[in-house]
Amino acid sequence: MRLVIYGCGGHGREMALAARPRPVVFMSDGTEGISRADLFPDDEICVAIGSSATRRLLTEKVQAYRSATIIAPTAVLDPSAQIGDGAQICDFSYIGSNVRIGRQLQCNVRSHVHHDSVIADYVTFSPGTLCLGTVHIGDDVFIGAGAVLRNGSPDRPIVIGEGATIGMGAVVTKSVPAGVTVIGNPARP
C-alpha cells in the first residue's frame, strides 16, 4: 500500500516529512508527480492543499480511496483525543485531552489544540496556532500563523463559526460569527 500525497506544493512536501519514515509518492492534476490514472486500488491518499474549498473538492475526487491520516513522529496526542479521517498533524504539534477533530484537519507545525475543544471538518491551523481549551471551531475555518484562541468554559465555549478566517497573530478573546474575518489583538472584524 502506497502513501500518495495529493499536492506537490509546500504543504505536500511538509506532509512527506511528517509521514517519515514511510515513503511517499506525489500526485497532482498538473504535470508534477503521478496522475489519478496512476493510482492503485489500495493506495492511501493525503490531500495536502491549504485551501479548505480546494481540499474538499480534491477529497471528493479521490473518495473511492482510503484517506490517509498522518501524525508526525514528534506530535503529541492524548489517548482520549478523537481524530477524523485525513487529519494531518505536523511536527511538534499537540492534541490534548477530550479533543474531537473532524475530517481533513491541517494542524501545521507547532500548533496546539487543548482540552475539550471540538474542531469540525476541513479546518486549517497555520504554523504556531494555539487553540486553548473548550473552543468549538466550525467547518472550513482558516486560522493564520501564530494566532491564539482564548479558552472558553464548559458552559460558554469560544465558538468560531463556519467559514471564518482568523488573521495571522490575532488574539481571539470571544466568539467569531460564521464567515467573518478577524485580525489584531484583541481580534476584531
Contact status, residue 160 vs residue 178, Cβ threshold 8 Å: no
| 115 in active site | yes
Q: Which of 147, 129, 130 has its CA nearest to residue 185?
A: 147
3-class SS of residue 82: strand
Gap between the Cα atoms of 112 and 99, Å rounded: 11
Question: Would you give the DSSP letter of residue 164?
Answer: -
Contact status, residue 46 vs residue 86, Cβ threshold 8 Å: yes
3-class SS of residue 174: coil
Q: Give buried/exposed letters for 151-161 (b at 16+ CB in 10 A, else e).
A: bbeeeebbbbb
Out of 11, 112, 114, 115, the active site residue is 115
Catalytic residues: 115
